[in-house]
Amino acid sequence: MDTPYYLIDERRLLSNLKIIKRIRQCSGAKSILALKCFSTWSVFGLMRQYLDGTTSSSLNEARLGYQKFGKETQVYSVGYSQEDIRALKKFADKIIFNSLAQLKRFYHSCSGVKIGLRLNPQVSYSQFDLADPARKFSRLGVINRQSLKAALPLISGIMFHFNCENANFKNFSANLDYISDKYKDILMRLEWVSLGGGLYFTKSGYPLDKFCNRLKQFSRRFQVQVYLEPGESAITQAGELVTQVLDIVHNRMDIAVVDASTEAHMLDLLIYRTPAKIKQAGSGRFRYIVAGRSCLAGDVFGLYRFKTPLKVGSTIRFSDAAGYTMVKKNWFNGLKMPAIAVKRLNGKIDLVRRFNYQDFLNSLS
C-alpha cells in the first residue's frame, strides 16, 4: 500500500473494547464513544458490540453517530444555534447544554429529548493547561449551584467532564468524593450522570476492580445511571500512521524527512508539544530527528535512536495514532492525505478510504 496511511488494527482495538465491556458488567456504567476523538466509522461494526452509543460535540458528529453507529446518541456543545437544535431533535436521545442561558433559551424546543447540563466542579486532572476544563476563566460548564438548583426541573441529568488522560485512580477517586459531597442534594434528584471522558482506564496496570467499585457505589448512592465517554481509552494503541523516508538531510545531525506531516496528520503533537511514539526506535546508536515534509520549520515528530541506519525508502510507523488524528487531519500545503486502512480480526487488511486531488479541490472554493 502506498504511504502514508493510517492503519487501524481491530485486534488491538478489541482488547480495549473488552475492558469497556468488563466495566459495564461489573459497575453498570454505560460507555459511549467520544466521536471528537475517533470517528472512523469503518470499525463501528465491531465497536457497537461493546459500547452503548456515541457522544458528539456538533450536529455533524451527532448525525454520524446516529447513522453509522446507532444505539444511544448524546450530544454536548459549548454553543448551539436554533438551527442546530431543530436538526438535532431528529438524531439525539440526550442534548446537554453548557450554560443556563442556552438551556432556558432552547428548553421548549427540545420536547421528546432528555435534557442535561454540564457542570464545572472546579476540580480537574490535566497535564496541559490547554486541555484543563477547570482552568482559570473556563467557559466549560455551570459553576453557580443556586442557579443550578433552580434549573433542576428542566433537566434529567448532568455531565462532569473534568479529566484529560487521567491514569491516576487515586486522583479520580478523590475528585469523585469531592463531587459526591458538593453536589449530593442535586445528584439525588437526577436520572443519569455522565462522568465524561479523559479517564485512561485501559492503560496497563490500571486498578479496574477498584474503579468499577467506585462507579457502582456512586450509582447506588444516588440512584443514577452512570455514563463514561471514552475516546482515547477506547482506541489507544490500536492505530498507526505508516510513513516512508523521502530524504535524509544533515544540519549538525541527520534529519529523516518522511512523507507525512505533524501539522496536517498528527496535529496534537504540535498543539501539546509532545513527540510521536515509534516502537521500532529505542536505544540504538543511530540518532535521527524525524521530521515532516511540510514547509513549517517546526514540523518535527521527535528525536529517536534506531538500531540500524535509516535510508530513503525506510518505513517508519508512528504508533498510537488513532485518537485525535484522523478527526483533525487537514490539507495544509496540499499534502497527500493519508489513506485509511483497517486490519480486520481475521488479519485481512482493507483499504477503506483513499483521498485524491478531487477531495482537496472540494475542501476549498
**Cβ–Cβ under 8 Å, residues 295 and 212:** no
The backbone torsions φ and ψ at residue 310, rounded to the nearest 5 degrees and listed phi first, read -85, 155
Is 174 inside a domain boundary? Answer: yes
174 and 56 together in one domain: yes
294: nearest Cα among 358, 246, 361:
246
Q: Taking every pair of C-alpha atoms in the chain, what is the biggest distance, in angstroms?
A: 66
Domain holding 68, by residue range, is 12-235
Is 1 inside a domain boundary? Answer: no
Question: What are 65-94's pLDDT values in tens digits?
Answer: 999 999 999 999 999 999 999 999 999 999
Question: What are 320-348's pLDDT values in tens digits?
Answer: 999 999 999 999 999 999 999 999 999 99
Domain-ending residue, one of 192, 218, 235? 235
Cell 540518532 belongs to residue: 287
Output the pLDDT for position 168: 96
Output the pLDDT for position 2: 96
The one-character DSSP state at 112 is T
Grid cell of 61 as nine digits? 458528529
Domain-ending residue, one of 235, 263, 292? 235
Structural domains in the chain (count): 2
Residue 82: CB atoms within 10 Å? 10
- Rounded to whole angstroms, the Cα distance separating 254 from 147 reads 60
269 and 140 together in one domain: no
- Rounded to whole angstroms, the Cα distance separating 105 from 88 reads 15
36: nearest Cα among 206, 164, 171:
164
243 and 225 together in one domain: no
Give the pLDDT band of residue 280 (cuts 50, 70, 90).
confident
Domain-ending residue, one of 219, 235, 251? 235
212 and 114 together in one domain: yes
223 and 262 together in one domain: no
147 and 221 together in one domain: yes
- Supply the CATH number for residue 335's domain: 2.40.37.10
Is 209 inside a domain boundary? Answer: yes
Whether residue 145 has pLDDT greater than 90: no
276 and 341 together in one domain: yes
- Supply the CATH number for residue 164's domain: 3.20.20.10
Whether residue 229 has pLDDT greater than 90: yes
Cell 453509522 belongs to residue: 68
Residues in the chain: 365
Is 313 inside a domain boundary? Answer: yes
* End-to-end Cα, the chain, rounded Å: 31
Q: How far is CA 350 from the centre of its chain?
A: 23
Grid cell of 355 as nine digits? 483521498
Q: Name the percent of the chain lying above pLDDT 90.
A: 96
**Cβ–Cβ under 8 Å, residues 165 and 172:** no
